Amino acid sequence: MNIQRPPQQITLFDLDQTLLPIDSDREWGNFLVKLGVVDRHIYESENERFYKEYVGGVLDINEFLAFALKPLAAHPMKTLLSWRSQFIKEVIQPCLRPEALDLVSMHISKGDLCCVVTATNSFVTRPIVDLFHIPHLVATEPELKEDPSGLVFTGKVKGLPNFQQGKVFNVKNWLNGLGYDLSTFSQSTFYTDSMNDLPLLEIVSNPIATNPDLRLKNLAIERSWQMINLFQ
Active site residue: 14, 112, 193, 213, which one? Answer: 14
CA-CA distance, 41 to 37, in Å (whole number)?
12
Q: What are phi and psi of 213, to 5 degrees?
A: -70, 170
CA-CA distance, 191 to 11, in Å (whole number)?
8
CA-CA distance, 154 to 43, in Å (whole number)?
19
Active site residue: 16, 112, 193, 213, which one? Answer: 16
Q: Is 130 a catalytic residue?
A: no
Q: Is 25 a catalytic residue?
A: no
CB distance 124 to 81 below 8 Å: no
Q: Residue 91 has what DSSP assignment? A: I
The size of the chain, in residues, is 232
Q: Which residues are catalytic?
A: 14, 16
